[in-house]
Structure 1
Amino acid sequence: MSLAVIHSRALDGLAAAPVSVEVHLANGLPSFTLVGLADTEVKEARERVRAALQSSGLAFPHDKRITVNLAPADLPKEGARFDLPIALGILAASGQLDASRLDGFECAGELSLAGHLRPVRGALAMALALRREASPRRLLLPVASAAEASLVEGVDVREAAHLLDLVACLLPAAEQQLPRAQAAPRQAAEPGPDLRDIKGQAAPKRALEIAAAGELSLLLIGPPGSGKSMLAQRLPGLLPPLDDEEALESAAVLSLAGAFMPARWGRRSFRSPHHSASSVALVGGGSPPRPGEISLAQHGVLFLDEFPEFQRTALEALREPLETGRILIARAARHAEFPARFQLVAAMNPCPCGHHGSQVQACRCTPEQVSRYQGRLSGPLLDRIDLRIEVPAVAPASMASAAGGQSSAEVAARVAAARARALHRQGCSNARLAAQALDQHAHLGAAEARFLDKTATSLGWSARSYHRVLRVARTVADLADETLITTGHLAEAVQLRRGFPVA
């Protein structure tokens, strides 16, 4: 036949939109034309496909007019993922393959000049799209991408390492079946840094436990070397394991950036971009839009060290994701939405020299310099951070003593129990409680309400601050396994929100 249609998918944000790769062979002046809003990488597939077919000993129709259409034409196509469907379409249109055997597949893959199949981004997104649409088609991918896609249950994923492997299974008289992909074996999580390694710092450790139990954001303020980074690095070890749906959501976003490793399936991400990162690097963007560090930290931890040193536009870009849990990238030509359910942990010095308010070393900064430095963080951004805690310098006597305190495993057990109580009561973590749900699940008695009203009035809190303190108090009560929020829980929540500005 002179026309063949191969099914594939294009990445559109976190979605994988279906694409029909239509290959037509006709008589006329020999040419190879590719249409359908393809970018430069896709158009370069003409040379890769030609070389791969010839290197594999397959016939390339040099004497034909070849037209490849990627439909729908108004959907942008990018990357080398269409190399494999274009090659299979040419083979089917020229009669070298049984086109009917390709109807039940959706495929994607990059071809080397020797015909080997190379992995592509977004294999998990393709598998999730097939499952969501309940499509009967099987997914045909390179070996590395197939191992990733096979993590999605209910999708038949087949793999191949070379173009000739596919031809051997798709010839008209072939009886051999393409091998089914096997999910990578789940490896036991390597033990991470332990909370017991941090000497002293009882209050910051308590704040870290509360942040883990309530999925709350945290700002650590202290001089250099006080242990802020060490505390942040131990937060993932306190969080409960991801369930299957959360693991899939996290892996799908990482897959879009080519950063997912099947061996790390089910582990929470810990992203720590440098403070020179731009707002696009944090939020995402580009053409086509790709996820940024915020989305790559989906269901994980985003650690921003040297918080005031980030660009102002990058810091302000955090405000909406902290509230809504999603990012909508709007451009003139395209829109893309990415998830943004992450836990923010930020760390900063109290002043440019880092020793403002320290009892150990004198500060060299003027009051104006301190005010200007702390003023880099806007009020609306600080309002959205649940916990703000000072991390004081550790005394030399404490450093010389042996490590003590509770281990990460002990704290993680309490965190898991508190999270389970919240899920049983309201179906979500305390950080995701909306205002109406707060009235129901964080109801205060008369004395507690008077205490919080008086505190909010004296400190000049906004309604957002009031609600965030309620969420923190609800978490403190969950850790204590208490149904009602008491004045003691509220008092601790208030203290955990008064760490900024530093006196």
Structure 2
Amino acid sequence: MSYARVRCVGLVGVTGHVLQVEADLAPGLPTVAITGLPDTALHEARDRVRAAVVNSGRAWPNRRITINLLPATLPKHGSSFDLAIAVAVLGSAGELPLARLDQVVLLGELGLDGTVRPVRGALPMVAAAARAGHHQVVVPLDNATEAGMIPSIKVHAVRSLRQLATFLTDGIPLPEPPPATPVDPTPTLDLADIAGQSLGRRALEIAAAGGHHLALLGPPGAGKTMLAERLPSVLPELPDDAAMEVTSLHSIAGLMPSGGRLIRRPPFQAPHHTATVSALVGGGSGLARPGAVSLAHRGVLLLDEAPEFDRRALDALRQPLEHGRVRLARSRGTAEYPARVQLVLAANPCPCAKPAGDISCDCTPLARRRYLGRLSGPLLDRVDIQVTVRPVRAAELMQVSSGGEASTVVAVRVAAARAAALERWSSLGQRSNAELPGPVLRRPPWCLPGPDIRELRARLDRGSLSARGFDRVLRLAWTIADLDGRQRPDAEDVREAIGLRTGEAL
């Protein structure tokens, strides 16, 4: 026999595709050719696989070897094909019987000594195999617990190519994946640590309840970063589908937490202000990798000292914020990653940033405008809540008993508001008020009475609000009503929403 075929999985973005790995032996000079749009890592697999086969006690065929990855039109990248290539070559040479691998998917990178090493993206790969109707998968031992998150597929864990070969020739069963180890929940920061800042706390609660973007302006030390870092502590746990998306993204990025469990807590990303466009939205050579905005999917993306970020990097966030996805086109193909985040911008009002705030500012009006002007109008127009936090007073800071509500208390109200929004909008396929299309709120049965939105309409006509801002105020008003347990917003809710949107809230 000079031909063999096994199955593997390739990733394009976060989407897995079941592929066939073919090996054919032909007379001629001993060479190895890999076809089917392989990247550099796959071209290098020739040497890795040859060394792994020889060091596992198997004979490498001294013939012309052609390895084809089907479908040939799909770009392939990474080292997760190594194990499948080795088995296909040995099968085509008659070294291994492949009957036991019918409808089985193989994943794994090979070391030169034949060990099977873990790969990135094992979770979405195994999920793709399950969707394609496969019921068994062979993965590296270090990926076995992660792969075991997919309940509909049987996972076999291998430590080495030699162990897999023994299974194929002698029928010695492969071990089951180790059980998931309990993981202590990561301690979360608590809103009770915040001194004063009633407006900031109110804005944070509304942002959490509706999934709204938030901008916090104010002098250094006022508590902007502390507030932003505590937003995840009041967000509800992720449902199954969202947890699978988030965990898959972290698997692709090589950031899977230990313990082999789905990520249930909303993720939190806070890149440094020197982060590049690629670091924020994704990039890299070949097929683009996920950036911070995708790693924060269904969680919080904090840009602290936002005016210090490169303006091109900030403006690159506009499309992901609007559509909840980031599409990255590169020479080797296009990758798409989910990016439904809550953006939090924290910024000082001016370059001098005196702790006392505006009363002691040394900056000229032009310098202040230039500083905040680094945050473009189109970006800020996508931020629902924009508030200014005031310096903390000594009495608020020193009186421990004056601390506000704890995160656990606020989280109960946030969960109730989110449940009300989900029940109302689930028929439209939406989870939260922030995701709702604007036209829905401007048409029956969800449009508000004319007297309740009179001021809002006037601001739109004067040009102080854009059409996008008009819709975002309506979404905020619905969130405020949900927090207060009312069926529909009233004029007072709309007025508060306008103040939060325009920075006029007191």
| TM-score normalised by the chain length of structure 1 | 0.94
Match of 2:157 among 149, 156, 159: 159
2:499 alignment counterpart: 495
1:390 alignment counterpart: 388
Q: Deviations over 1:452-500 (max 9, x none)?
A: 2234445621111011011011000000000121122112111111228
Cα RMSD (Å):
2.1
1:436 alignment counterpart: 439
Give 3-state SS (helix, strand or coil) of 2:501's partner: coil
Match of 2:230 among 230, 234, 239: 234
Give distance in 2, aligned partners of 1:441 and 1:356.
Answer: 48
Give distance in 2, aligned partners of 1:237 and 1:260.
Answer: 20
Q: How do residues 14-413 of structure 1 correspond to structure 2 at under 5 angstroms? A: 14-61=14-61, 63-133=62-132, 135-171=133-169, 174-182=170-178, 184-185=180-181, 187-261=183-257, 262-263=260-261, 265-286=263-284, 287-355=286-354, 358=357, 362-403=360-401, 404-413=403-412
Give distance in 2, aligned partners of 1:128 and 1:472.
Answer: 37
Moved more, 230-239 or 431-440: 431-440
Give distance in 2, aligned partners of 1:381 and 1:441.
Answer: 31
2:419 alignment counterpart: 420
Give 3-state SS (helix, strand or coil) of 1:223's partner: coil
Give distance in 2, aligned partners of 1:111 and 1:331.
Answer: 28
Shift, 1:56, TM fit: 2.0
Shift, 1:153, TM fit: 2.7
Give 3-state SS (helix, strand or coil) of 2:357's partner: coil
CA contact (8 A) 2:146 2:261 kept: no
Give distance in 1, aligned partners of 2:40 and 2:329.
Answer: 23
Give distance in 2, aligned partners of 1:479 and 1:459.
Answer: 30
Q: Deviations over 1:415-438 (max 9, x none)?
A: 000000111111120001112322
Give distance in 1, aligned partners of 2:333 and 2:49.
Answer: 29
Give distance in 2, aligned partners of 1:484 and 1:137.
Answer: 48
Letter aligned with residue 280 of structure 1: S
Give 3-state SS (helix, strand or coil) of 1:196's partner: helix
Give distance in 2, aligned partners of 1:158 and 1:44.
Answer: 26
Give distance in 1, aligned partners of 2:439 and 2:418.
Answer: 20
Task: Give the unaligned 5+ runs of structure 1.
Answer: none
Letter aligned with residue 346 of structure 2: A
CA contact (8 A) 1:442 1:470 kept: no
Letter aligned with residue 436 of structure 1: P
Give 3-state SS (helix, strand or coil) of 1:128's partner: helix
| TM-score normalised by the chain length of structure 2 | 0.93
Are residues 1:467 and 2:471 paired?
A: yes
CA contact (8 A) 1:34 1:69 kept: yes
Letter aligned with residue 53 of structure 2: L
Give 3-state SS (helix, strand or coil) of 1:431's partner: helix
Give distance in 2, aligned partners of 1:116 and 1:498.
Answer: 60
Shift, 1:137, TM fit: 4.3
Give distance in 2, aligned partners of 1:276 and 1:480.
Answer: 40
Aligned length: 497
Letter aligned with residue 207 of structure 2: A
CA contact (8 A) 1:448 1:487 kept: yes
Give 3-state SS (helix, strand or coil) of 2:244's partner: helix
Give 3-state SS (helix, strand or coil) of 1:330's partner: strand
CA contact (8 A) 2:9 2:129 kept: no
Task: Give the unaligned 5+ runs of structure 2.
Answer: none
Give distance in 2, aligned partners of 1:479 and 1:91.
Answer: 63
CA contact (8 A) 1:356 1:365 kept: no
Give 3-state SS (helix, strand or coil) of 2:18's partner: strand
Identity %: 46
CA spacing shift, 1:357–1:467, aligned 2, 3 Å: farther
Give 3-state SS (helix, strand or coil) of 1:327's partner: strand
Give distance in 1, aligned partners of 2:17 and 2:125.
Answer: 8
Shift, 1:318, TM fit: 1.3
Letter aligned with residue 120 of structure 2: R
Shift, 1:192, TM fit: 0.4
Question: Stretches of 4+ moved more than 6 A in 1?
Answer: none
Shift, 1:180, TM fit: 3.1
Letter aligned with residue 67 of structure 2: V
